[in-house]
Amino acid sequence: MLMLTYDQFKARADTVQAQIAAACAQAGRNPAEVELLAVTKTHPAAAAEYAARYGLRAVGENRVQEAVDKRTQCSVAIKWELIGHLQSNKAKLAVENFDRVQSVDSAKLLKHLDRAAATAGRILPILLQINAGNDPAKFGAEPADAAALLGFALDQSALQVDGLMTIAPLSDDPAVAQRTFENLRTIRDTLADKFAVPLRELSMGMSGDMIAAIAAGSTQVRVGTALFGSR
Ligand SMILES: *Cc1c(COP(=O)(O)O)cnc(C)c1O
């Protein structure tokens, strides 16, 4: 896959940041509340270097081994977040290589991550992935199970729950994504109230639907294609 030059990347990133700022203005929100996570999956390690040079805090990867390989190829000061499905048997490797895991969707995985984080002597920040669009094709806990999952997560001493994450169903109808994001926001508000925890992070919105996500309260958009081109 042909990689962009840094200047080409910078022009794309400036455009995305301007779109985020415009969406925030439209929604009456402060743009400082919405982080741009650069999704570097399938792109070479240089993509993470570009993101760091541009000043982004973190990159997102969806496979553990791919991220491990890239991290050894570049030594940039940037955080790594896991946004793809994680199997329990890879929990230890994920804890060793990621600053945060966003794709946590089962009690079994919580247990494995907690044990691995405790062994590593660290507190692992996580997000709970919720299937807020009720999409049979997506991972994520069902909304009806979210409260039980959060209760279990809050009992794990080596995990810190920062908030929730979702992926909208693929659809030609923009109302589907909008409904999904509003649903995640409502689930977050309900759970934050019930458990008296902030759950500040709402990781939602990608290249194609980040405007709707920001309108619904996203605090982090995960953007790959709009920054690095198609995969
Ligand atoms: C690939 C991916 C993204 C980025 O998608 P784009 O459409 O390329 O912006 C965001 N979130 C997750 C979970 C992904 O797997």
Domains contained in the chain, CATH given: 6-228 (3.20.20.10)
Question: Do 184 and 166 form a contact (C-beta atoms < 8 A)?
Answer: yes
Q: pTM of the full predicted structure?
A: 0.97
Question: Residue 230, exposed/middle/buried by CB under 10 A (0-12, 13-18, 19+)?
Answer: exposed
- Residue 74: the pLDDT is 86
Question: Do 86 and 102 form a contact (C-beta atoms < 8 A)?
Answer: no
- Residue 95: the pLDDT is 98
pLDDT interval class at 75 (50, 70, 90): confident
How far does residue 225's CA lie from ligand 1's centre (Å)?
Answer: 8
| Rounded mean pLDDT, 68-87 | 94
pLDDT digits (tens, 9 = 90+) for 39-59: 999 999 999 999 999 999 999
Alpha carbon nearest to ligand 1 atom 10, residue: 222
pLDDT digits (tens, 9 = 90+) for 128-177: 999 999 998 889 999 999 999 999 999 999 999 999 999 999 999 999 99
Among 62, 80, 231, which is best to mutate for testing ligand 1, by the most ligand atoms less than 8 A from CB? Answer: 62
Ligand 1 pocket (Cβ < 6 Å) reads 39, 41, 62, 83-84, 167, 206-208, 222-226
- Residue 231: the pLDDT is 87
Q: Average pLDDT over the chain, rounded to whole?
A: 96
